[in-house]
């Protein structure tokens, strides 16, 4: 134990070694000397249960931290609460220092890697379940709103629907036509390469027609709309949410679902079948060009083979998927927009989420439709 006569900062009480009398200036200027003192007193193993701070001189944050290390956070908290003779600013300082030291995180116990993996799988399963539940609820709200609109045709916002059709369909015709044209040409080259080994290059026409009428035209167009339009819906509605414009719509007594969601859903359900039809024509045109240049299949022969070998039902099956894909893409884009919390970062996160979810749902529904058509022998 340090001798009381040699210590000008802290001395045990004469009748109680666990009672420490604090004195002198506990400030940054004396930090090195105070640090050595605190270390010596802690090395004695004495647990101080009481302290007298009335004789203390100046005190700053550095001194308060050392004092808390010496006496402990609990005793400092008690002194800051009960020592009414201390000035208010010193009591607040000591209380905050003790509180901050008490909040140091304890080291987390190490868990088994298998348990952590199972925990993460369970957590993400619950997140996906909640997301599917929210999506189904939003689909239900939209269907109810659209059914109510059928009973009240005067509530349709035709101007908004036409404006959305222009943005969704007219502005996307060029990119859809170009993409499907190039994919049709690639499929024709691939079919010619593979079928030439069997002397059946003439069936390249059937390959192009079946693939674009049933699958590629609607699938490529839907994926383009998922990346182009679903992200636009999320960004537009999310920005309105961040700027509190949706709250203003509700304040005016209007339903954001009728103003923002239903016009976009209807416009998408009109636009995607039209773009799908353009994609079918463009894809087969690309295949016809390759067939004419590389396989000596003239356009007249190409059309004759189409008429003889390809039934019109394949066109109907491809077009039947377009409204379903359009509905899901528009719903997901709008729903993610309403989930935006208000910051620009949130807008970006939900925009990315809308694109990923839309593409995933489109491919999933296309796979299920293909299985269903196969089982029905269509």
* Integer Cα distance of 225 and 168 in angstroms: 8
Q: Is the pLDDT of residue 107 over 80?
A: no
* Integer Cα distance of 264 and 225 in angstroms: 13
* Integer Cα distance of 75 and 353 in angstroms: 51
Give Cβ neighbours of residue 98 (< 8 Å, ≥ 6 apart): 68, 73, 74, 76, 77, 80
Residue of 41, 40, 34, 74 lying closest to 56 (CA atoms): 34
72 is written with which tokens?
């402990």
Q: Is 51 helix (H, G, I), strand (E, B) or coil?
A: strand
What pLDDT score was predicted for residue 108? Answer: 58
Average the pLDDT over 61-68 and give the result: 79
Mean pLDDT of the chain: 84
Q: How confident is the model at residue 365 (pLDDT cuts 50, 70, 90)?
A: very high
Tens-place pLDDT, residues 247-283: 898 888 888 888 889 999 999 999 999 999 999 999 9
Q: Is the pLDDT of residue 237 over 60?
A: yes
The correct answer on CATH 1.10.1740 for the domain covering 4-102 is no
Give the rounded percent of residues in the chain with a pLDDT score beyond 70. 94
Q: Is the whole-model pTM more than 0.75? A: no
Q: How confident is the model at residue 2 (pLDDT cuts 50, 70, 90)?
A: very low
Report CA torsion sign: 301, 305, 306, 308.
positive
Q: Is the pLDDT of residue 220 over 90?
A: yes
Q: How confident is the model at residue 6 (pLDDT cuts 50, 70, 90)?
A: very low
Tens-place pLDDT, residues 164-201: 998 898 889 999 999 999 999 999 988 888 887 787 88
Q: How confident is the model at residue 7 (pLDDT cuts 50, 70, 90)?
A: low
180 is written with which tokens?
């499907």
What pLDDT score was predicted for residue 1? Answer: 40
Q: How confident is the model at residue 102 (pLDDT cuts 50, 70, 90)?
A: low
Cβ pair 250, 148 in contact under 8 A: no
Domain limits, the chain: 4-102, 156-375
């Amino acid at each position: 134990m340090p001798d009381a006569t040699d210590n000008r900062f802290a001395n045990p009480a004469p009748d109680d070694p666990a009672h420490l009398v604090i004195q002198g200036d506990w400030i940054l200027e004396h930090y090195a000397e105070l640090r050595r003192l605190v270390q010596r007193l802690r090395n004695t193993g004495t647990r101080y249960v009481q302290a007298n701070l009335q004789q203390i001189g100046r005190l700053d944050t550095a001194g308060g931290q050392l004092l808390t290390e010496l006496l402990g956070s609990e005793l400092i908290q008690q002194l800051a609460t009960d020592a009414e003779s201390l000035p208010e600013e010193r009591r607040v300082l000591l209380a905050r220092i003790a509180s901050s030291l008490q909040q140091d995180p304890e080291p987390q116990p190490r868990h088994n890697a298998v348990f952590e993996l199972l925990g993460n799988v369970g957590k993400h399963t619950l997140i996906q379940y909640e997301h599917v539940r929210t999506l189904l609820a939003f689909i239900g709200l939209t269907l109810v709103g659209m059914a109510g609109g059928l009973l009240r045709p005067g509530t349709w916002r035709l101007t908004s629907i036409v404006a959305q059709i222009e943005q969704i369909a007219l502005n996307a015709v060029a990119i859809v036509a170009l993409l499907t044209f190039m994919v049709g040409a690639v499929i024709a080259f691939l079919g010619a390469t593979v079928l030439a080994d069997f002397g059946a290059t003439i069936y390249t026409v059937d390959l192009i027609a079946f693939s674009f009428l049933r699958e590629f035209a609607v699938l490529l167009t839907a994926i383009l709309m998922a990346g182009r339009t679903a992200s636009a819906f999320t960004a537009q509605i999310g920005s309105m949410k961040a700027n509190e414009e949706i709250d203003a719509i509700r304040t005016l007594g209007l339903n954001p679902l009728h103003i923002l969601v239903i016009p976009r859903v209807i416009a998408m359900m009109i636009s995607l079948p039209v773009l799908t039809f353009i994609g079918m024509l463009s894809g087969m045109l690309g295949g016809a060009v390759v067939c004419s240049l590389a396989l000596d299949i003239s356009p007249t022969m190409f059309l004759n083979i189409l008429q003889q070998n390809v039934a019109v039902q394949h066109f109907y099956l491809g077009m039947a998927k377009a409204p379903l894909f359009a509905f899901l893409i528009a719903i997901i884009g709008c729903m993610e927009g309403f989930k935006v919390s208000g910051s620009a970062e949130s807008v970006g996160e939900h925009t990315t989420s809308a694109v990923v979810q839309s593409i995933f749902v489109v491919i999933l529904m296309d796979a299920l439709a293909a299985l269903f058509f196969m089982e029905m022998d269509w």
